[in-house]
Each structure stands twice: as structure tokens, then as C-alpha cells.
Structure 1
Amino acid sequence: MSGPAAAADAPVSYKGWRGIRRAFATPSAVTMLFLGFGSGLPFLLIASQTLSTRLRDVGLDLGSIGLISLASFFYLLKFLWAPLIDRYAFPLTAFLGRRRSWLLASQIVVMIGLVGLAFTRPDVGVAPLVGWVLLASFAGATQDSVVDAYRIEVAPANAQAALAATYTLGYRFGLILAGAGALYLAEFRDWIWAYLAMASLMLLPIMTTLLCREPVAPESTVVRRIDFVGAFWQPFASFFSNNGVALGLALLLFVGLFKFPDQVIGVMSGPFYLDSGYTKADIATVSKLFGVWMGIAGAFAGGIAVAAFGFRRMLLVATFGVALSNLAFLLMAQNPGQIWAFYAAISADNLFQGFAGVVLIAFMSSLTDRNFTATQFALLVSLANLPGKFAGGVSGYLVEATSYSTFFVLSALTVLPTLLLLAWLWRRIRETPQQAPVASPAA
């Protein structure tokens, strides 16, 4: 954007309580609410607890459930094709612009994938289910990459913490429906109805994509000059050029370890709830409904804390919180079937998950070069999920070899390498973004 409008936008401040309210009142905040919803809706259905609960419900063993969860690995590898998202518009929908063209295509494929999953029979054979999970996870990962790039590009850098909280709010609404909604439908109807209903809800983010504006691309000609091969290596070269090799590798490692304690138990949580004697309706009410609202509260607390104190100190708080919240599940392990233990564990876990999620988004946004937002943010998000995803794939075997209680204690202890790395990074973490936005479009 140029001219008087850009000049008018430049002095807008998003600091303090008044700034936070201003950021949440912008059209982009509403857009991120619905785009976040579209990102959160498919995740549990194709890559996490709802799918694993469905598989356990039809009698699959824990080891097989853990291995099947690896079929959603595209969420970990989205940085591999993100350079194409940064460089080109999607051909069939290019008239919408570079970001919106990819958004619409990926959202439609997610909806198709959920319809396909609705009609699979994992009790008969898992091959068709794995195929649909692969398709849906590829589309879902692509959607996530574009939404992250859209969020960073559509608003000034000083509004990112508020927009991260708004995005998280929408994401958590998606989790409520994909978790509690799907489980209620599965309990009182069947899994086919549950997945078809979730597929129809993808129409909300699709309509948002059609109605929202395309973000203004940076005025820098860097992206325009690079060729097809450069589209892949230039984003990575830029990251290490901005940080140096040693610091760059340390930052990537820290991002990869940050949420490991929480992610390593993700696949086993659904089976753990069932094995502890809770019904699908109990799981829907406590974990997928009450728990998601606790996550929303944690997300807003994280957004406010980052705005007030900066993300560096909040990284320390979140690191401890994510690890210690795993120990709350010992209450459930020692008191199986007790609803109070379920509420207590879910309260601690989801509060710190929501808090840590916003802190991590703000931190990763500060590391991103706006010439390569989709690629660099996708790389960071993939690293944030990669170690825990692979550990989750074998977590079922660990539980079967020991016990749920031992598993939760071991998962909490995995925070130690993260704390040591954070101590080394403490004086090297920058609170301001590496590159301010070239243009300052209205948020």
C-alpha cells in the first residue's frame, strides 16, 4: 500500500491495553478468527486425538495407533513445498492472489479428505484410511503454511501478538468442534456422521478466503529476482544470514524442543482416557469442550503476557508450564474414572498449552523474514512438531512396556535439554523482529 492510506496507517500503535483492543477490532482479526478455525478443525480428525480415539474405539492396539499417526507426517514437512507457496500463486485459483489462491485450493482438498475419511472402515482395513489421512494432512499442512504467512503479512509487526491470540481463538474453536463435536456425534450417531459434519464446517473458512483481502506483498524485489531453484534455497540462506550459522542452528533446535513434553503424549491421550474408564461423552465434555475453553484462556493470557513483558521471559514460563502440566495426568492415572481428576489434569494441561502456543508463535514470527514468510515459518512450525511427532509414533510401545504413570513422568523430564538451551540463548534472543514490514497495510 502506498500514498495517504499507508501514511495514515504508519503511526498506529498496538501497544498496551488500548493497542490490544485496537488490534482485536481490525478486520484482519476477524479474518484470522475464521482462518484459524479452518486450520484447527481438521487437525484432531487426521493427525491427533479424535482419530486415535476412533481407532481405539474400533479395537486397534496402541502400537498400531501410534504408527498410523505417522501418516499425518506432512504437517512436519510442509517447509519442503512452502517455497512454491512463497514464489507462485496456485494456477487454478491464481485470480485470487498469491496467498488466497493456495488457501482456497487447500481448504477444498481438506474438505474432500474428511469426506473420504468418513466412509473408511479401519476395523476392516487401514490402508484406505492411511491414504485419506495422507491427502488430508498434505492439504491441511499447506493451509497452515498459507494462514501463517497471511497473518504475518496482513498486519504490522507490532500487532502480531494480538493476531496470534485471535488466530489461536479460532483454532481452538475448530478443536472444540473437531473434538467434542465429533465425539458427541460418534457417541450418539456414528463416526460417518461425525466426519461428514466436520467436512461441511470447512465451508466457513472457504467463504472467508473468498471474502477477505489479499495482503500487500513486500515491496522488496528479492522474491521476484530468484528463479525456481532459488525459491527453495534463498529462504534458508536468508535465515542463516540474519542469525549466523551457530545461533541459527541453536534457534532451530530450541523451537524443536520447546513443546516436546506436551507433544510426546498427544497420540496416547485419547486411548489413555478410554483405558481410564471414561466414556466418549466424558472425553468430549471434559477434554474437547471444557479443555479447549481452558486453552483459549491460556492463549489470551499468553497474548497479554507477551505484550506486557516480551516473549523472552514468557518462553521460560511456558517451558516450565508445558513440562509440569504433564505431571497433572498422574492424578488421572492414580484415580481412574474419577471425573474431578479428569477436570484437574485437563485444566493444567490446556492452560499451559494455550499460553505456550501464543508465546511460541510470537517468538517464531520475530525470526521470520517477510520476503519468505511461508517457507521460514513453515520450517519453524515443522521443527516445533517434528521431535514430538516421531516420539508419539512409538509412544504406544513405551506405555505397553511400562505404564501410563511412568510415561507421564518421563515426558516431563524431557524439558531439561530445552532449559539448558534457553539458558545459552537468553542473551542472544532478540525481542524485535528481524525485518520490519516494508509496507504497513491496514490491519
Structure 2
Amino acid sequence: MSAPAAGEPPRYKGWAGIRRAFGTPSALTLALLGFGCGLPFLPIASMTLSTRLRDGGLDLGSIGLISLASFFYLLKFLWAPLIDRYVFAPLGLLGRRRSWLLAAQLGVAAGLAALAFTRPELGVGPLVGWVLFTSFAGATQDSVVDAYRIEVAPAQAQAALAATYTLGYRIGLILGGAGALYLAEFGGWTMAYLAMAALMLAPVLATLLSREPDAPESTITRRIDFLGAFWQPFSSYFANNGLALGLVLLLFVGLFKFPDQVIGVMAGPFYLDSGYTKADIATVSKLYGIWAGIGGAFLGGLCVAAFGFRKMLFVAALGVALSNLAFLLMSQYPSQIWAFYAAITADNVAQGFAGTVLVAFMSSLTDRNFTATQFALLVSLANLPGKFAGGVSGYVVEATSYATFFVLSALTVIPTLALLAWLWPRIREAAAAPPR
């Protein structure tokens, strides 16, 4: 492939184009920003937090309810229009995107440092407060990075930036999951959370050294008034899809990964109650499991490219539900490491596969005039039902058993499959809508 002529924009086709896209400074920047997004998620919104609470002696019901304190990750679409429209004034010299990004990253670091010194066994009030603060900062960071990725490079280079972002995000998950658990096992939870706070220095430096994306000459979002910034992304969605189809699509997205999400809060306590150490959990679930998830994600991408996402939606939804049954092996063979590996392989490959399929589907529903807000809304809906169900999951386990809980979680796929059957003849038309 020949190099572009002077003054001609870079081309991103073929192997030379791939090398060009991955070789841009923005690719490394997105890897570091992705790392910053992935690092705090488990310590404040998922298994690392629930494992810490169980290790401190809290009951399962309380752990499930405390997990709801991270709900800001589900509601980031509510303030995404403000991030699109305004500069964060105290850091305004950095520009619209980087000002919000640096503020959010510093907030995450401060929140993780504060959580290092909370003592949940002495009262959960301060811990819940700092989880709320850190989840708000983390959710804001996610929204800004999504917008930054779209604006910093042309559409042809977006696949490369998404790939490096995903790699950084997964490494962040490894350190926020396995890394934190290893540190907690050998140095205590205070050291673990302080280390996570210190690691936020990497994305902070990336923000300070990166360039601000070029401001768009004009877009619909910039021209509308304050109220319109909130209203138009939603009115546009229903104008493009119609009321009935639009509502069913939102419901389908919300239920798609429900079987997996409903067991998320109970995963850490289940591993501990099954006789595994924190080091076992770190090695199998948060180290090996992350790479199994990456493999599932690549498999999902290949299958979507080969067969389209409509058939893969069925395969992914069914796979997520059936993978929950693999945890029955752990309940039947407690403390057996082979059972742990088998269950995590099934669960994480299914999660990675389904995640890629769902992102492809949600992207097809997004109006390009309101990408950040609409995509944030869809991501929030994809996690909201399972998050609330996870809040009461501890009571279900205490009333029944872990084994019964896993079977019931697998059966929750039935409404999703029913909605997919209704959507089946309509998905092609929704996906084939011309770019906007």
C-alpha cells in the first residue's frame, strides 16, 4: 500500500493501514485511558468489593445491598449531555475533553485512597459514601473516554483504538481484581486499595501528555439549548425506531446479560464459602478468567463478522445462561481447583462472546449525532436490571442454596429469548438503517 500524498489524509486500509492506526500516539493513549477505566471497577462495583466485605464478616444480604452504592455506572447517560456540551471550568485550559477526564481520574484516585482507610466492620456508612463518590467519578471517566476515542481519530482508525482501549481495560481489571486480591492476601486491604489509587497516576499522565481532540466545526448537539441537550438524544432514538420497537429494543438490551449479572455480587462470597483462598480467587477468576474473557471476545468478533449479529444474539444469550450451570460443579466439588477452572472458563468465554455481540448490536442502534449519550444510555440499560437483582441476590441464596440460585439464574434467559423471537424479523431493518 502506497503512502498518502502530501496533504492527503491518512488511509487505513490493508495491513499498512492497520500498522498506521496501531502506531499512532492515540493508540497508546487509549490503552492507558482504558487501563484507568478498568482499574477501579472491581474494587468499587463488583467482586473485589464484595470479597472484601465478606472477608470482614458482613452477611450476604448486606453485601448485596451495599453493591447498589455503585449505581452511578448505570446512570452515566444522565449527565453525559453536560460532558458533551461544557468544559470543566477549573481545568478549562486543558480543553473540553481533557478537563473532564483529569477531574474524573483525580476523583477516582482520591476515592480509592479514602476506601483504603474505611473499616466496614465498624460501620458501612463511610464505605457506602466513598463508593458513591468513586463510582460517580469512574462513570464520568468512562463517558469522557468514549467521547475522546471517537473524536481523536477518524472512523477508519476506530477499530485500532477500540482494541488498544480494550487491552488496557482488561489489564486494569486484572490489577483491580487479581492484583488487589493478592495484595489483600499478603498485605491487607489498606495496602491493596492504596496501590490501586497510586496506579491511577498512569492514566493521569496520559491525559496530561495527550492532545485535545479537534473541536467539531458544528454539530446538532452544539447548536441546541441546554434542555435540548438532554431531550434530543432520546427523542431522536424513538423517531428513528418508533415507540413500540424502540421500547422493546431497550427492554431486550436490558435483559440480554441478566443471567450473568444477577450472580455477579454473589461470586466472591460463593468462592470463599466453597473453600477457595483469596489467592485462588485471584489466580483463577481475576487472572486466568480475564484472558478467557478476551478469548471469548475475539471469538464473538469473528462470529459476528462471519454470520452477522442476529444469529449470534441467540447463541450469546443462550450461552450466558447455560454457563451459569457450570458453577454447579463448584458446589458439588468444593475446594477442587479443576472445578473452579472449568466454571470460570465457561462463564468468562460466554461473557466475552456476549459482550462483543451486544456492543455490535447496540452500535447499530445509535444515532451518530448523539453517540455518547445514546451509547451511555444503552450501556446503562444493559446493566441496570441485573444490578438491582444482584442487590437482593444474597437473600435468595440464604433462603435456598447456591445451587438453586444458579439454576434459577439460568432460567431468567426465557424472557430474553421471547423478546428476541419477536424482534427476529425486525432486527435486520433496524440494523440496516443508514449511518447518521
Asked if Structure 1 and Structure 2 have the same fold, meaning a TM-score greater than 0.5 normalized by the shorter chain, the answer is yes
Residue 57 of structure 2 is matched in structure 1 by 59
Structure 1 residues 176-201: Cα deviation after superposition (integer angstroms, max 9, x where no partner): 10111101111101100000000111
Report which structure shows greater RCO (CA 8 Å, sep ≥6).
Answer: 1
Contact (CA 8 Å) 1:180, 1:288: kept in 2 or not?
A: yes
Distance 1:226 1:329 in 2: 50
Matched, 1:253 2:251: yes
Residue 110 of structure 1 is matched in structure 2 by 108
- Among 323, 346, 351, the alignment partner of 2:344 is 346
Contact (CA 8 Å) 1:148, 1:377: kept in 2 or not?
A: no
- Among 226, 229, 232, the alignment partner of 1:231 is 229
Contact (CA 8 Å) 1:63, 1:397: kept in 2 or not?
A: yes
Distance 1:419 1:202 in 2: 40
Q: Residues 31-42 of structure 1: matches in 2 within 5 Å?
A: 31-42=29-40
Distance 2:342 2:262 in 1: 20
C-alpha distance 190-274 of structure 1, shift in aligned 2 (>3 A): same
Structure 1 residues 142-198: Cα deviation after superposition (integer angstroms, max 9, x where no partner): 111112222333445565555444332221111110111101111101100000000
- Among 287, 291, 294, the alignment partner of 2:292 is 294
- 5+ unaligned residues in a row in structure 1: which ranges? 437-443
- Among 394, 400, 421, the alignment partner of 2:398 is 400
Residue 435 of structure 1 is matched in structure 2 by 435
> How many angstroms does 1:8 deviate by?
2.7
Q: Secondary structure at the match of 1:328?
A: helix
Contact (CA 8 Å) 1:297, 1:354: kept in 2 or not?
A: yes
Distance 1:358 1:159 in 2: 18
Distance 1:30 1:369 in 2: 28
The aligned amino acid for 1:286 is V
Residue 334 of structure 1 is matched in structure 2 by 332
Contact (CA 8 Å) 1:262, 1:322: kept in 2 or not?
A: yes
C-alpha distance 164-298 of structure 1, shift in aligned 2 (>3 A): farther
C-alpha distance 5-194 of structure 1, shift in aligned 2 (>3 A): farther
C-alpha distance 393-313 of structure 1, shift in aligned 2 (>3 A): same
Distance 1:389 1:188 in 2: 31
Q: Residues 19-418 of structure 1: matches in 2 within 5 Å?
A: 23-157=21-155, 160=158, 163-418=161-416
Distance 1:402 1:413 in 2: 16
Contact (CA 8 Å) 2:12, 2:20: kept in 1 or not?
A: no
Contact (CA 8 Å) 1:172, 1:295: kept in 2 or not?
A: no
What TM-score do you get using the length of structure 2 for normalisation?
Answer: 0.92
Contact (CA 8 Å) 2:365, 2:431: kept in 1 or not?
A: no
> How many angstroms does 1:79 deviate by?
1.2
C-alpha distance 101-331 of structure 1, shift in aligned 2 (>3 A): same
C-alpha distance 5-181 of structure 1, shift in aligned 2 (>3 A): farther
The aligned amino acid for 1:138 is F
C-alpha distance 223-296 of structure 1, shift in aligned 2 (>3 A): same
C-alpha distance 28-433 of structure 1, shift in aligned 2 (>3 A): farther
Contact (CA 8 Å) 2:12, 2:157: kept in 1 or not?
A: no
C-alpha distance 340-433 of structure 1, shift in aligned 2 (>3 A): farther
Distance 2:424 2:21 in 1: 29
> How many angstroms does 1:296 deviate by?
1.6
Distance 1:159 1:425 in 2: 32
C-alpha distance 267-239 of structure 1, shift in aligned 2 (>3 A): same
> How many angstroms does 1:204 deviate by?
1.2
The aligned amino acid for 2:435 is Q
> How many angstroms does 1:316 deviate by?
2.4
Q: Secondary structure at the match of 2:226?
A: coil
- 5+ unaligned residues in a row in structure 2: which ranges? none
Distance 1:427 1:163 in 2: 33
Distance 2:91 2:236 in 1: 29
Residue 9 of structure 2 is matched in structure 1 by 8
Distance 1:154 1:424 in 2: 39
C-alpha distance 158-92 of structure 1, shift in aligned 2 (>3 A): same
The aligned amino acid for 1:187 is E
Distance 2:214 2:304 in 1: 26
> How many angstroms does 1:307 deviate by?
3.6
Structure 1 residues 8-34: Cα deviation after superposition (integer angstroms, max 9, x where no partner): 34x6447xx887666545444333222
Contact (CA 8 Å) 1:145, 1:378: kept in 2 or not?
A: yes
Q: CA RMSD of the aligned region, Å?
A: 2.2
Residue 424 of structure 1 is matched in structure 2 by 422
> How many angstroms does 1:376 deviate by?
1.1
